[in-house]
Structure 1
């Protein structure tokens, strides 16, 4: 949770710094640019989640060589994807801004932001792998240390480049790029301290690392996670696109509220991350009782945290959002839509926790199916709730997470019976 809280400060620091300028258009441009980068990169978050699951499962079996091979394969995939993304940079930015329905002059400023931050894409991909590999070995404190250091630097750069040097939108983008580079250096330095990391270099040139069976397992897991994340990212991109049609003030207000939602999400993801590791170890050892106990504990504690966050946002959301903009109209709109942020932790905690269980146990195909169901509910409600305007957008987004949890809970008993049959 603390590690994810440190991660959340990246987006919050950006919105706070650009909000000090009192320019709704600049704040809207950062929101659109950030959504573009989320849309571009989060579809590859399977690098992190699959690395956590496979590393934890190899730990459950006590297989050190498999842990090293997991790192080699994941880094190779990350570097390959990074090279492709850099090659298609001009086309990706143009198409992405079209998909977000960005128009001048908002489009021009968003383009400036993305053109700089885009170079951090290969760094972000590599960081996903290294974080996943360390978390899969329960080395979470080291990851927390890296996140805290990177965030301190990031906030300092935001203050320097936006408020002192007056680079505006470009300053926010450069702050993110430089802090991602620092994060990669720190993670690589920590990973290199473990013997499995040294063995990973040897594993990279071993034929067994690239055997068809092992690669098929990796790509089957990553395929499902990629498709699931693509759908999730599509839901967020659609949220941003519809919000952009309401003007820069509404877009900026949605962006501020979305950052508070992401803060809650990342806190709740602490239980998702724990479930990934612990359920991965239990699944690797074929221990259904241990997996079920982890599931119950994660849901219980996730529910308590979700309730606490909901109450906090219910009473304090209006005051919190006022910190992120000096524009009166943006402040007024964030206060109007703030109650939705209070509902989202309650609506979403179960789906976040269950994602960790499904990934750790390698039930990724089932998770993809439940995501398709939730996307269908989301699309239908977006159409039905159009007369409600921006309130309808937030309503559909809230129901999306409820539908995800409902689908996962419906299929969970059958998946647990599979492990029971394997034990027998």
Structure 2
């Protein structure tokens, strides 16, 4: 079982690590063009896509859970039906985004703001990159489906290939064709279609025989479509709560002063860095929990949950020690601003504690996604956001100021893990006894 966990976790960790590398390359390209407006342009444009794609991340999660359960049931027809159904939704959603691109960009810049020059370039960046929306959403679906089929190598290959293509194309357009932020946008858009094409090729290479079991009437079966959209709706609300919390965190940091914004922006990167590793085990949980629920193997389910938490605890302790010993060294690598480094010192304790406070929420998310226990996930995030994060911040901020913001974030992550621990038996463990009903 440990071998299965690592077989699924390690490729996902590698995939996750490629994401910040791409962002650093884009910033480096823009940072050598002689003006900060190009950095601002891709930063603002990137914020809009982060909202869109993070919001539609449910397509990957639900596809992973449904596919893993069908795989565990050995229901070949349903595995391929899930893929086609999710792809249809992804492509339709991508076309809607394309149709609404002008209103989306208008509303976004009304909310975000920015100087006129930066906004003009960011708008251009968005209107080029948005044409890759169908491909980006299709990649979400393929990655989730491959993972549900217990195949973590293909998502890793797709992610690395698409990101390498993105870097090479962006360098070509910026330095070879003298383009600016529009070159980065075009490179990103083309790379997402390359990723989608590679996903199709890999699917046909290994899974083309599944197409013989596809029944188009099952793709649009009302009962299963209803379950699909209900689960996706719950996960969307869950994702929206996370977006809301992190956006609020950044907004309140900015409203303090520029130094606190810089401090919090740097320190939150350490939480995100930890998430790249712990998410690998969460993804392994999605695949294995879904498979065991589909196969109605309760003992295996309980064993994999136990092992996932052993791995998660060990990783959290390792990162806690790493941050305790080296957080100042890491900060010096990220910035040379002495004022920022000094101002960060009182808040380093939160960075040291955050792996232990948050690992449970990541592991449980993977378990709940694999079980498609979306209602429990939704309720957990609503409770963590509005009963823990918001009250703690508003009650303590007048006294603790930025410490209150970090305490609220830490309790938000910790509460998610605790609530899902209490809900596990009802939301997941009993599903096998009741026939592993994928409707939740």
TM-score (norm. length: structure 1): 0.86
Q: Which secondary structure does the structure 1 equivalent of 2:372 belong to? A: coil
**Matched residues in 2 for 1:332 and 1:164: separation?**
42
How far apart are residue 208 of structure 1 and its match? 2.6
Following superposition, the deviation at residue 102 of structure 1 comes to 4.9
Please tell me whether residue 18 in structure 1 is matched to residue 27 in structure 2. yes
- Secondary structure of the corresponding residue to residue 198 of structure 2: helix
Asked if the contact 1:11/1:259 (under 8 Å) is kept, the reply is: no
Partner of 2:284: 274
Q: Secondary structure at the match of 2:150?
A: coil
Kindly indicate whether the alpha-carbon contact (under 8 Å) linking 2:67 and 2:149 is maintained by their aligned counterparts in 1.
Answer: yes
1:332–1:85 CA distance, 2 compared to 1 (3 A): farther
Where does residue 6 of structure 2 map in the other structure? none
Query: Which residue is 1:413 aligned to?
Result: 425
Would the aligned equivalents of 2:40 and 2:118 in 1 still touch at CA under 8 Å? yes
Contact 1:386 1:392 in 2 (8 A): yes
Structure 1 alignment gaps of length 5 or more: none
Alignment of 1:160-239 (within 5 A): 169-196=181-208, 199=211, 203=214, 206-239=216-249
User: What CA deviation, in whole Å up to 9, does each residue of 1:350-374 have, x standing for no partner?
Assistant: 1111111112122111111111101
Determine helix, strand or coil for the equivalent of 1:275: helix
Distance in 1 (alpha carbons) for counterparts of 2:196 and 2:77: 24
Following superposition, the deviation at residue 141 of structure 1 comes to: 1.5
Answer whether contact 1:48 1:128 (CA < 8 A) is retained: yes
Unaligned ranges ≥5, structure 2? 1-9
Give, in angstroms, the shift of residue 73 of structure 1: 0.2
Distance in 1, matches of 2:328 and 2:173, equals 28
Separation in structure 2 between the aligned mates of residue 118 and residue 349 of structure 1, nearest angstrom: 34
- Residue of structure 2 aligned with 1:293, choices 298, 303, 322: 303
What is the RMSD computed on CA atoms of the aligned residues? 3.3
Size of the aligned set, in residue pairs, is 422
TM-score of the aligned structures, taking structure 2 as reference length: 0.83
Q: Is the 8 A contact 2:150 2:288 kept in 1?
A: no
How far apart are residue 196 of structure 1 and its match? Answer: 5.0
Distance 2:283 2:418 in 1: 20
Say which of 80, 84, 90 aligns to 1:68: 80
- Determine if contact 1:116/1:174 at 8 Å carries over to the other structure: yes
Of 278-287 and 237-246, deviating more is 237-246
Match of 1:283 in 2: 293
Contact 1:192–1:198 (CA<8 Å) still a contact in 2? Answer: no
1:336 & 1:414 partners in 2: Cα distance?
41
Q: Cα distance, 1:404 vs. partner?
A: 0.9
Which of residues 331, 347, 351 in structure 1 aligns to 2:357?
A: 347
Deviates more, 1:26-35 or 1:36-45: 26-35
Q: Does 1:57 align with 2:69?
A: yes
**Alignment-derived partner of residue 395 in structure 1:** 407
Q: 2:252 aligns with which of 221, 228, 242?
A: 242
2:143–2:154 contact (8 Å) kept in structure 1? no
Match of 2:108 in 1: 96
Q: Deviations over 1:162-201 (max 9, x none)?
A: 688776654544443333222222211101113457617x
Maintained 8 Å contact 1:287/1:423 = no
- Write out per-residue CA displacement over residues 50-93 of structure 1, whole angstroms, 9 at most, x where no aligned residue: 11111111111111111110111000000111011111112222
What is the CA-CA distance between 1:332 and the residue it aligns to? Answer: 6.6
Q: CA deviation at 1:384?
A: 3.0
Label 1:82 to 1:256 Cα distance change in 2 as closer, same or farther (>3 A).
farther
User: Cα 1:239–1:101, aligned 2, differ >3 Å: closer, same or farther?
Assistant: farther
- Is the Cα contact below 8 Å between 1:282 and 1:291 reproduced in 2? yes
Structure 1 stretches of 4+ with a deviation exceeding 6 A read 22-25, 162-166, 326-336
Contact 2:138 2:196 in 1 (8 A): yes
CA contact (8 A) 2:11 2:152 kept: no
Q: How does 1:256-271 map to 2 (within 5 A)?
A: 256-271=266-281
- In 1, the alpha carbon distance for the partners of 2:171 and 2:333 equals 15
Q: What residue is the counterpart of 1:383 in the other structure?
A: 394
